[in-house]
Amino acid sequence: MVNCNSREYVVIIGGGRRGAAILETLKNDEEVKIVGVLDVNEDTPGIKLAKRLDIPTDVDFVKFIKKRKRIDVIFNATGEQYVDEKIRELRPEIEIISGLSLKLVWGLIAEREKAIALQRDLYRNTIGILTSKMESKNVWAHGHPEKVTEYATLTGQRMGLLPKELEIIKCAGILHDVGKLGINDELLLKTERLTQEEYQIIKEHPAESESIVKSMEFLYTVLAAIRHHHERYDGMGYPDGLKGEGVPLIARILAVADSFCAMTSHRPYCREKTIDEVLEEIKRCSGTQFDPEVVKTFEHIIKERFFESDIH
């Protein structure tokens, strides 16, 4: 299953013998993961050993702390109070643990890792339950979330997204419509024109999906993609009317994959469209509903998959 997010902690150590000793311990401890080792001086046993162990080092800890957006906890094992003060000033939201013995720091890290692993298992189970609930709804009978995920992932890969962004696509692809769980099938499958009131209910599902996923703190990185998967490139979408690149890229990718899958899936109330017709429809909406760059990549993927001979 998916692993959408991992929080980071940083251990700040001095680079002297004490630092080197910490790293020696680390070397043999599979449970402990160190994101970075910092010191003001590059020519110290701690930093040298970190480099040998392939652990990122950075002598400029201010820059380091600023750029690592997902740091959860910093263990300050330097014994230097100014380090705490500087971190508090730069990133007041980060938890700082300092003044502890090394043994205690390691103990805390190991405990934390275990807790995170447990949390991850719990969330995986929760996603599993949500997915099977979704499958029991008529509207997803044909594996819609999985198909959206597949096409969005292929598009993301082709657009050069990072592995962690592809992970977000996986989570958001599976969960983007989870907010529809609360809407009855009758409305979701209605063939006649929706009343304004009914359309309003449908329009609430991205925010509803977001609020369900929000309760799983672990998945916070996927919230924006879920919330905005019905925004349009021209700003006429919902829920927030975001426009152009103001719509998160992953949401722009999901929007194309989502529409493609919806239009190519078998729907009892209308004639099944051919892949050709659907692709034409997507291209027609490039620049209005969809991001032209995403459409271009998507077209390539569809042609490769369905009309191999059209690729020159």
DSSP 3-state assignment of 18? helix
Nearer to Fe ion among residue 159 and residue 202 (C-beta)? 202
- The nearest distance, CB 103 to Fe ion, in angstroms, is 51
Measured CA to CA, the distance from residue 113 to residue 110 in angstroms comes to: 5
Region of 68 (left: φ > 0; alpha: ψ -120 to 50; beta: rest) is beta
- The nearest distance, CB 206 to Fe ion, in angstroms, is 6
- The nearest distance, CB 177 to Fe ion, in angstroms, is 4
CA 100 to centroid of chain Cα atoms: 34
- The nearest distance, CB 217 to Fe ion, in angstroms, is 23
Q: What is the DSSP string of 20-42?
A: HHHHHHHHT-TT-----EE-S-S
CA 222 to centroid of chain Cα atoms: 4
- The nearest distance, CB 41 to Fe ion, in angstroms, is 54
Find the helix or strand (DSSP H, E) in which 76 lies: strand 71-76
Nearer to Fe ion among residue 55 and residue 225 (C-beta)? 225
Nearer to Fe ion among residue 231 and residue 258 (C-beta)? 258
- The nearest distance, CB 4 to Fe ion, in angstroms, is 18
Which residues would be at the binding site for Fe ion (CB under 5 A)? Answer: 177, 258
Measured CA to CA, the distance from residue 298 to residue 175 in angstroms comes to: 21
Nearer to Fe ion among residue 177 and residue 210 (C-beta)? 177
Helices of type H across the chain: 17-27, 45-52, 61-67, 81-90, 102-135, 144-158, 163-175, 185-188, 196-203, 205-214, 223-227, 249-264, 275-284, 292-306
Nearer to Fe ion among residue 58 and residue 258 (C-beta)? 258
Nearer to Fe ion among residue 44 and residue 259 (C-beta)? 259
Spatial contact of 178 and 212, defined as CB atoms under 8 Å apart? yes
- The nearest distance, CB 133 to Fe ion, in angstroms, is 15
Nearer to Fe ion among residue 167 and residue 258 (C-beta)? 258
- HEC profile of 99-123: CCCHHHHHHHHHHHHHHHHHHHHHH
